[in-house]
Amino acid sequence: MATTSTSRTGRPRSTAADAAILEATRAALVELGWSKLTLGDVAARAGVAKTTLYRRWAGKNELVVDAVAALFDELDLPDRGSLAADVEGVVLQFAALLQRPETKTALMALIAESTTDDGLRTRVRASIVDRQKRLVLEGRARAQGRGELPAESDPEAAARTADLIFDVIAGAVVHRALVSAEPVDRDWAQRFAALLLNGLAAAATP
């Protein structure tokens, strides 16, 4: 006979319901904006009871962060054969994600709200920023395996380097795509990867 854990009460969460709720949250943000978005509206759009949302999320902040985090979890880093190609690929993939209306609207709303809400800023960092640093760790380990980067013996120094790499890539792409509203095309991605890997001298190369 199948056994169930005595530590869990109630019905198990439905992944389909969760996905519908997160999608409805993103759609409501695009249509209504942060200030007018309510959990009641999200529940109606997702076709679930409002109590379903409250059982899963404490409030709007938590719900919106999870809705955005689900989008960023779509990012991956397939092996493209070299570190430069890996960087170019993830830059283009990230930029394409930022061009989607639901990503752009939700991310900008979170950034604006988190400037005055320390709890929200902490949740954004834990659920989105720190989670996506996996791409840096994966790419660096792959490059070390190819012999493109030296192995690192100091874990703390390696973690600081990973943080810096993530900040440089994410900051550059977000600024280019959302602040400057300039295209992040293959040419830009290649020049950016060259600058990141080879330093300032690469920027002067025609």
Q: What is the pTM of this model?
A: 0.83
Helix, strand, coil percentages in the chain from 3-state DSSP, rounded to 5: 70, 0, 30
Q: If pLDDT is split at 50, 70 and 90, which confidence band does 13 have? A: low
Kindly report, residue by residue over 17-56, the tens digit of the pLDDT.
899 999 999 999 999 988 899 999 999 999 999 999 989 9
* Gap between the Cα atoms of 113 and 61, Å rounded: 9
Enumerate domains of the chain plus CATH numbers: 15-57 (1.10.10.60), 69-204 (1.10.357.10)
* Gap between the Cα atoms of 35 and 159, Å rounded: 37
Burial environment of residue 206 by CB neighbours within 10 A (0 to 12, 13 to 18, 19 or more):
exposed
116-128 b/e with 16+ CB inside 10 Å = b?
eeeebbebbeebb
- Average the pLDDT over 59-88 and give the result: 94
* Gap between the Cα atoms of 99 and 181, Å rounded: 10
Kindly report, residue by residue over 76-112, the tens digit of the pLDDT.
999 999 999 999 999 999 999 999 999 999 888 899 9
